Copies of this chain bind each other. A is one copy, B any other.
Amino acid sequence: MEKFTYVRHSFAVGMIVQKFGGSSVADAEGMKRVAQRIVATKRAGHDVVVVVSAMGDTTDELIELANQVSPMPSGRELDMLLTAGERISMALLAMAISNLGHEARSFTGSQAGIITDSAHGRARVIDVSPGRIQEALDQGAIAIVAGFQGVSQDTKDITTLGRGGSDTTAVALAAALDADVCEIYTDVDGVFSADPRIVPAARQLKSVTYEEMLELAASGAKVLHLRCVEYARRFDLPIHVRSSFSNKEGTWVVKDYPEGADMEQAILAGVAHDRSEAKITIVGVPDRPGVAAAIFRSLADAAINLDMIVQNVSAAATGRTDISFTLPKTEGQTGVATLKKIQGEVGFESLIYDDQIGKLSLVGAGMRSHPGISATLFGAMSDAGINIEMITTSEIRISILCRESDLDRAVQAAHTAFNLDSDQVEAVVYGGSGR
């Protein structure tokens, strides 16, 4: 088995929260490998808190069991069921660590003081009271905590935090314990300037700011979930995204780039892409006050998450306009049905549903001080013969919509146009540690 040593970072001996996902602990071998890494961290002198997800496909298997007994299981009982998954993995991980000669104690979300609201399946952390964790650390033990779960403040029922919940558990605990860093272990080396499967020359980022990471996550980058980054930003807690298979430094997610970083080259953090959205165009909408409001109110009432929205200039001759927006493909059917219900009332002509679209986003804090980013992007798309269908921008992001079949080429062209390819960048933008 591979031996791990824990590489010291710029901060001194302190407290580290480490999060391991289900693929890292899918079987007994994985458990033992992760246990070695945890013990190496402890031996380097740190206090260690570990957050662990359910083993491999456990959660999916439990959902399948639930479906066998009930077509519509209640949220309370589904949460009770699913939290068994982390209970199993955390106890096994504690055993594997003890077997290496270090005391480890496992704690459920409830025992670890993860207090949430009562929204089963997507609960929000509203307080963290890690008294038992601190006590275990004070006694020299390694604390293992179940990810993804908590206990509701009002009903004392068990809750789950939804997708990416274990990352949120780790960051929330790290903030409450005043940890020096929250390490998120994953199957890639860190955050990249683009998806390396699409852009082989993509380079790993040494650092990325919270706001850039938020935009990247919202734009389709899957390495970290939005909620966990939001949480880290609120508490100014550094996240270190790194591989569970190596000792290499990963990517630090921090408040600001470290001083001395060559900001000239750090205009863009990266190029994100997203194939999960569809586009609906509402054709021939009467161009009267209140009509657009009625349309978007009905979509909001159906709890549909809109992303990009474009309203064409009204054709003066007809007094009608077209409105296009994007939404998750999974909500496409609901969106179309919702709009058809108000077609009579609103009086639009027809709907076009298009799920062959792709979204490309440039993200970078340097955009604020560097004009001309969009011009360069549009030029690159034009040179590559790619048609831009929609555009939206935020302070540090530009997103464009194109055909899904053009998306890979679009990402490659943008990556090259902004000199992000690793053979174009002599050195990473700053040396030293990520903070």
Main secondary structure on chain A at its contact with chain B?
A: helix
Most chain-B Cβ atoms within 10 A of its Cβ — which of A76, A88, A91, A104? A91
- Is A95 engaged at the interface, CB distance under 8 Å to the other chain? yes
A69-89 CB mask vs B (1 if < 8 Å, else 0) is: 111111011101101110110
- Is A401 engaged at the interface, CB distance under 8 Å to the other chain? no
Which stretch from A60-68, A365-373, A408-416 is at the chain B interface?
A60-68
A84 touches B87 (CB 8 A): yes
CB neighbors of B among A100-135 (8 A): 104-106, 111, 132
- Give the bracket for the number of chain A residues in contact with chain B: 35 or more
* Chain B residue contacts of A105, Cβ below 8 A: 76-77
* Chain B residue contacts of A85, Cβ below 8 A: 84
Q: How many copies does the complex hold?
A: 2
- Is A393 engaged at the interface, CB distance under 8 Å to the other chain? no
B111 touches A69 (CB 8 A): no
* Chain B residue contacts of A68, Cβ below 8 A: 28
Q: Provided the pairs A32-B69, A156-B111 are in contact, do residues A90 and B99 lie with their beta carbons within 8 angstroms?
A: no
Please, how many angstroms separate the alpha-carbon atoms of A94 and B69 in the complex?
A: 10
Taking Cβ atoms with an 8 Å cutoff, the residues of A that contact B are 28, 31-32, 35, 62, 65-66, 68-74, 76-78, 80-81, 83-85, 87-88, 90-96, 98-99, 104-106, 111, 132, 156
6 A-B residue pairings within 8 Å (CB atoms): A62-B88, A77-B105, A78-B91, A84-B88, A84-B91, A87-B87
